[in-house]
Amino acid sequence: MNASDHERARDLVLLRGIEGISAGDAKWLDSHLVECFECAAFAEELQLTTNALRSMPVTASSSLVGTTQARVRQHAADLRDREVRLFLIGISFCLGLLWSAGSMFIGWRLSAWLAERLHIAPWAIAAGVVIFWLAPAVAVAIAVLPRYPMSYHSRADWLARIEENLQ
């Protein structure tokens, strides 16, 4: 036996576990392992390691599952926050548009009437129209903004409901 015999034996031991070896190689390897204690020990160790790896369950730990679920829930809550906020912004935009159109029409008629009847300076009428025009939009914004992001209470309720569905 020379050094290359041991090297060949160990290569064959590794190959046998991965892709298999020919019958001739297997016969040669078996006879070498019977005679060579070191290579037999190597093959034995490799076998034990392989068995240990195969018996290890590849499952996620409960803490990993819990963390992942919490992240998914958080993400869902964030998405819902954003959806609700976009919806409210859309509503306030439409309200603002309606109010602008309506107040512009009324303001135009009113200012003409006032200028004619009361002889008020045009700049004063213009200032009044601007204030009337902006006031409702500001009021809507003030009414809507404090409600979002969702209050802690409603958000907690919502998360609890999702949790029930996940279980």
Question: In this complex, which beta carbon is closest to Zn ion, that of residue 17 or of residue 128?
Answer: 17
CA dihedral 109, 115, 118, 119 (to 10 degrees): 180
8 A C-beta contact, residue 13 and residue 42: yes
DSSP-derived 3-state class of residue 140: helix
Backbone conformation region of residue 149, classed left if phi is above 0, alpha if psi is from -120 to 50, else beta: beta
Shortest spacing between CB 7 and Zn ion, in angstroms: 8
Which of residues 28 and 158 has its CB atom nearest to Zn ion in the complex?
28
First to last CA, the chain: 64
- Least Å distance, CB 17 to Zn ion, is 17
Structure tokens at 32: 């070498």
Which residue's CB is nearer to Zn ion, number 36 or number 159? Answer: 36
Specify whether the CB–CB gap between 78 and 145 falls below 8 A: no
Cis geometry, peptide bond prior to residue 136 (ω within 30 degrees of 0):
no
In the complex, the residues that contact Zn ion under the rule CB under 5 A are: 6, 9, 36, 39
Question: Minimum CB separation from Zn ion for residue 25, in Å?
Answer: 14
The tokens describing 26, both together, are 């297997």
Minimum distance, C-beta of residue 36 to Zn ion, in the bound complex (Å):
3
Min CB(62)–Zn ion separation in Å: 46
Nearer to Zn ion, 12 or 39 (CB): 39
Nearer to Zn ion by Cβ, of 21 and 125: the residue is: 21
